[in-house]
Structure 1
């Protein structure tokens, strides 16, 4: 691990020397950074689309006339020849057939291509025979509060995931059945969102269960397409429980993930098609919580040969080999792995290939290990993060895309031992060495309790002089298992480049719950979500304030959603460390957020009243003394504006000065409904940094151009 150590005159001279090389290079213009007029700083890497066999990979190349075509490239020589065989499909959303039903949602083709399933605005589930256009209506009780195959909000946001687009039905591999979830929202509290349209405006009533409130009642159905009948899985919908995304196994069995409301017991059941009876396949219990993921928990071997399960029950994300009945055969990996993701299971060779963070928590590496847990081998090379892997069919070679903070993204070919064969391409464009790019370092700062070395990235201004003092802008998120500090290349340009040219030190922190320290670190936040996170950020902030080159009157933080919460905590709980902040769409009190997310970490407000009280921003509002700008969209259906209004009300009653910006009609991501408002929000934040960090007006270019893309972040 490289560390930046700043002690004494020698290190000051070293820093000065390391930044002097940028003095003779050009700066970027406003148009280059914000109007997509950037020079050739970067270039695309080769497009690899899989393998012909273990000796040839498939690449998409351009010919002399600029036309693209696939070629097969020989591994040993690099020579290519035209290729017209099958090409693995690119990851993309399934093509949607035209079925002539205007309100059809989530149209999904069956595995055999003969049927489509979909829901309609009546909240019923349908299947259509594509050859005859005959429609089978699977459910008939859909209503405003009964949703068949279409997710209730809390399931969409927290369990099935936004990528589901509310889809809550799944075809069986043989195309004969559809499993689906039926949601009853009748007892879920309604949260009213005021919309200003029209003379009187109107209320958008959202079924949103806040912490401790009633969840939707859920049933799991298995419908037979031939006759449209449904068999219900043997669960009581009145129970306080959650269901994760189900699995159809290679054997054609249907497995359901069940979890108690406390989210510390997980059971996977095999459901009988005929009766709905359930049989336990796997069970897990933890003292804090278990994540009910979106389906990546299990990777199946071929029919009858079992499955590999990923779990963090030992404090880290390790792999476990089970037979087809769920019986544990052996633990495959041990140790401090995180972000573990299987690339390939080679059943013939009895090997598992996977990526994980192990050697360095800020980098991904590529590994192989035997199904029996023996022979763990690192295949990736160097001090890099290997973020994309393309493995040959039998594991003889792999193509890796890798980088670190000082090495632009590169693609290379390596053999089964991880030996580099040749570089296939790098992302450095022809003008890369012409422009001055900021230097970024990764350091580790000891947590206040002495337990963790917290990762911090620092991007220095161009022509950095360690004898000068600079303002600091800290950009964070901070949510559980959502770290932002990685030792990987950051594409040149955008806002990062701009602020480096303007003279701002840009920083990112990760706390103990970020994933760098596995579930071991995450467990600290149980029943006190936000406490250790802000304590860790304060430790990092105090370290920054001790550096001779930091202007301690200008240590600012910004973030959105959970990052907005952290920013509000920084300006209240951490008011002695942080001086300025812009908080976007912030949670300010966990009682205002949804059941599944909040209770996973906090339990219910009824079970943990002190935890909710001690993690609410208003509990520390009296400490506020810097300057906070609060930003929220009035139609935010995820983090309701109630959060910001509650904090504003408290600050007003305390007579505190703050700034506020409201965006009428905007949702959780400001600019999602109106690009001009997104650009306005960016410009307002920039004006804030110019005024309070740089002490000068914002350049007119930011407000004079209506064609500014406004899409390069804060």
Structure 2
């Protein structure tokens, strides 16, 4: 009897222990709604002119912090206390920090474009006034002296004199789907990454601006169903597909004193791109970046702002393509004689010093690694110092460095393994460092730059370590393998917390794989749908194929003119490698991706039918002829130049090869990768007699989110994986 009683007690203790120490189950609501695993950060930091302070938006307040202590010292202004009271979502100080420009009533248009209402607040007089009552504006921006604000409205460019409150209209010919002044057209916004297309000169007396003539660009038509409407609405916008006509670009410079504009001489060839313009430190000289249609020739033009005459001072060419956003690294020095320029002409992205005439002085950084971000140059020391992040330690890591302009005295300022992202003060005296790695969550610290000494820890998310343990959440395990041709690829795995090497696990591979991208990096991963799959007994794996970034130009550009060829082969080889591991079931390998990743997952299933059992594709490109000019032609040339490059690896031409389970999801309101892509592939699959699963999301854009779509989509994918993998 006593023995039986002891056994019962032991059983009760075991049941109690199981109850106490059982891992909690992750839910989609935890991931997407409740913020159960959300990391704390320091966001919206605006360094002030006195490098000892920075401001940040907290709710409806602008709060001032002392950098040396990290403590809040004042509330600069509260939106609720203004007259009238406002709820603002963003703010900007004038250069002298005497005025604040508030943005309210934000209304998104595309990825970067928007319109809103703006208010100007004078800190001395405590007066708040609406910038304009003529309708919502876009991209309102103070002039350098704070006396004026320029903005766009209804495809035209305006400015307001804040002293007189007089509004001046600079352009008058703006018209929807025909002429755009001061704002980017759709394809420039998406692929050259800017929406505001006007720029104040340093002295505030001129405004340089783009004009896009869209009249020859063909329209794309989307039906918007708008729940509750009796009839759907047609939404038509100009979208240049590969090989078709682009907008014709004009660059103009408006002089506020003469109230006249001059056009910049960008040459007689109209079929070109102007991906960037930038004022030098001289208000009489505007720098213009000109690229040919194929984006393999780039020229920097220096423009006389009075006449519009230009002179090419630097030309770079590539047998594949050039990156327009490298021009963001161009910094004109205060000596008026030099500028910094970045290029991957030696095979890796590095920084160079040039004379203003375009003569090369020296290469500043060098090595078989890449400068990721050029953060700025401190010109106060006798020998100016540059700050940047790079992949010098590993392509998977990011570290913070300084180096002088002579290419000497390089210093590694970050000390912790993983991903280090600095935010430097304007005077370079301080920086905030955002650090994480695969095992350590985001930690934010404040540093003094010259001695590289720690001042204060601002945020520490160590509580997430306990939270991850509580839910049995795995962190990334990195691996490398060689493909049959000897190429070494980087990958990571997320394993179930109760991983047992003697078992055979199904695998879902996650892929993006597009040119210059990176998914495999030594940083902290927020809890995601992948961790939910871990709890269901799946391993999740990710591999960066050839064509991805941060391993040099040759590795990245090998996919030129043949998108899909090497990337897909690498993913197939990765699946075969995973299948060779003793703890992976080679007959239960699936793949998932979105956008370019959806293109990849689809093509992997079609071309790797004997390797992949299932695939999920979100908003995939299925025929590169349907995608836009700038992105597609950069990597494939025009369809008329390279038809095989378009057709050989477009999924619609391989539909008959489908064997496994396939789920395709797309938003009908996707202005980027059009729903047309899903329709074309589904038609090809139907004609081939192939069964598959599809789901469309009414009026949702490329991200397929909003109004419960994110939760719905991930539940759909979960059910598909549990059933088919």
What is the aligned partner in structure 2 of residue 560 from structure 1? 594
What is the aligned partner in structure 1 of residue 572 from structure 2? 538
Deviation at 1:29, TM superposition (A): 4.9
What is the aligned partner in structure 2 of residue 27 from structure 1? 24
What is the aligned partner in structure 2 of residue 361 from structure 1? 395
What is the aligned partner in structure 2 of residue 243 from structure 1? 274
**1:525-567: per-residue Cα shift (whole Å, max 9, x none)?**
1101121111111121111111122222321211111111011
Deviation at 1:411, TM superposition (A): 4.0
* Alpha-carbon distance in structure 2 between the residues aligned to 1:31 and 1:636: 24
Aligned: 1:208 with 2:239: yes
What is the aligned partner in structure 1 of residue 440 from structure 2? 407
Q: Answer whether contact 1:381 1:418 (CA < 8 A) is retained.
A: no
Deviation at 1:568, TM superposition (A): 0.8
Aligned equivalent of 1:262, options 294, 298, 310: 294
Q: How does 1:112-511 map to 2 (within 5 A)?
A: 112-121=145-154, 123-144=155-176, 145-159=178-192, 161=193, 164=194, 166-196=195-225, 198-236=229-267, 239-252=270-283, 253-293=285-325, 296-347=328-379, 348=381, 349-390=383-424, 400-412=433-445, 426-429=460-463, 431-432=466-467, 434-451=470-487, 453-491=488-526, 493-511=527-545
Deviation at 1:394, TM superposition (A): 6.2
**1:377-430: per-residue Cα shift (whole Å, max 9, x none)?**
3232243322235479566x7653322212233345677676879866531118
Q: Answer whether contact 1:633 1:663 (CA < 8 A) is retained.
A: yes
* Alpha-carbon distance in structure 2 between the residues aligned to 1:665 and 1:237: 41
Measured at CA, do residues 31 and 367 of structure 1 come closer, stay the same or move farther in structure 2, by a change above 3 Å?
closer
Q: Answer whether contact 1:513 1:521 (CA < 8 A) is retained.
A: yes
User: What SS does structure 1 have at the residue aligned with 2:366?
Assistant: coil
Q: Answer whether contact 1:146 1:186 (CA < 8 A) is retained.
A: yes
**1:36-90: per-residue Cα shift (whole Å, max 9, x none)?**
5566896557998769999x8879999xxxx98734547xxxxx88857999xx9
What is the aligned partner in structure 2 of residue 527 from structure 1? 561
User: What SS does structure 2 have at the residue aligned with 1:242?
Assistant: strand
User: What SS does structure 1 have at the residue aligned with 2:599?
Assistant: helix
Deviation at 1:28, TM superposition (A): 4.2
User: What SS does structure 2 have at the residue aligned with 1:660?
Assistant: strand
CA RMSD of aligned residues (A): 3.3
Higher relative contact order (CA closer than 8 Å, sequence separation 6+): 1
Measured at CA, do residues 336 and 25 of structure 1 come closer, stay the same or move farther in structure 2, by a change above 3 Å?
farther
Q: How does 1:45-56 map to 2 (within 5 A)?
A: none
Measured at CA, do residues 226 and 61 of structure 1 come closer, stay the same or move farther in structure 2, by a change above 3 Å?
closer
Deviation at 1:624, TM superposition (A): 1.4
Measured at CA, do residues 419 and 534 of structure 1 come closer, stay the same or move farther in structure 2, by a change above 3 Å?
farther
Deviation at 1:600, TM superposition (A): 0.4
Measured at CA, do residues 138 and 168 of structure 1 come closer, stay the same or move farther in structure 2, by a change above 3 Å?
same
The two structures have a TM-score, normalised by structure 1, of 0.84
* Alpha-carbon distance in structure 2 between the residues aligned to 1:172 and 1:59: 26
The two structures have a TM-score, normalised by structure 2, of 0.82
Deviation at 1:596, TM superposition (A): 0.7
What is the aligned partner in structure 2 of residue 105 from structure 1? 138
* Alpha-carbon distance in structure 2 between the residues aligned to 1:468 and 1:290: 48
Runs of 5+ unmatched residues, structure 2: 1-19, 78-88, 93-100, 103-117, 120-129
Q: Answer whether contact 2:604 2:612 (CA < 8 A) is retained.
A: yes
**1:74-116: per-residue Cα shift (whole Å, max 9, x none)?**
7xxxxx88857999xx996663332112143332222222222
Aligned equivalent of 2:647, options 613, 619, 628: 613
Q: Answer whether contact 1:115 1:129 (CA < 8 A) is retained.
A: yes
Q: Answer whether contact 2:64 2:75 (CA < 8 A) is retained.
A: no
Aligned equivalent of 1:628, options 639, 644, 662: 662
Q: Answer whether contact 1:632 1:661 (CA < 8 A) is retained.
A: yes
Q: Answer whether contact 1:61 1:70 (CA < 8 A) is retained.
A: no
More displaced stretch, 294-303 vs 175-184? 294-303
Deviation at 1:579, TM superposition (A): 1.5
Measured at CA, do residues 245 and 92 of structure 1 come closer, stay the same or move farther in structure 2, by a change above 3 Å?
farther
Deviation at 1:152, TM superposition (A): 1.7
* Alpha-carbon distance in structure 2 between the residues aligned to 1:328 and 1:86: 46
Measured at CA, do residues 42 and 579 of structure 1 come closer, stay the same or move farther in structure 2, by a change above 3 Å?
same
What is the aligned partner in structure 1 of residue 7 from structure 2? none
* Alpha-carbon distance in structure 2 between the residues aligned to 1:38 and 1:275: 56
* Alpha-carbon distance in structure 1 between the residues aligned to 2:316 and 2:602: 36
Aligned equivalent of 2:548, options 506, 510, 514: 514
Measured at CA, do residues 138 and 420 of structure 1 come closer, stay the same or move farther in structure 2, by a change above 3 Å?
closer
Q: Answer whether contact 2:369 2:550 (CA < 8 A) is retained.
A: no
* Alpha-carbon distance in structure 2 between the residues aligned to 1:620 and 1:544: 25
What is the aligned partner in structure 1 of residue 634 from structure 2? 600
Aligned: 1:683 with 2:715: yes
Q: How many residues align?
A: 651
User: What SS does structure 1 have at the residue aligned with 2:622?
Assistant: coil
User: What SS does structure 2 have at the residue aligned with 1:675?
Assistant: coil
User: What SS does structure 2 have at the residue aligned with 1:468?
Assistant: coil
Deviation at 1:656, TM superposition (A): 0.8
User: What SS does structure 2 have at the residue aligned with 1:646?
Assistant: helix
Deviation at 1:500, TM superposition (A): 2.1
Q: Answer whether contact 1:249 1:255 (CA < 8 A) is retained.
A: yes
Q: Answer whether contact 1:245 1:294 (CA < 8 A) is retained.
A: no
Q: Answer whether contact 1:45 1:427 (CA < 8 A) is retained.
A: no
Q: Answer whether contact 2:326 2:342 (CA < 8 A) is retained.
A: no
* Alpha-carbon distance in structure 1 between the residues aligned to 2:716 and 2:570: 29
* Alpha-carbon distance in structure 2 between the residues aligned to 1:467 and 1:496: 22
What is the aligned partner in structure 2 of residue 8 from structure 1? none
**1:563-614: per-residue Cα shift (whole Å, max 9, x none)?**
1101111110122222211111110111111111100011111111111121
Runs of 5+ unmatched residues, structure 1: 1-22, 75-79, 694-714
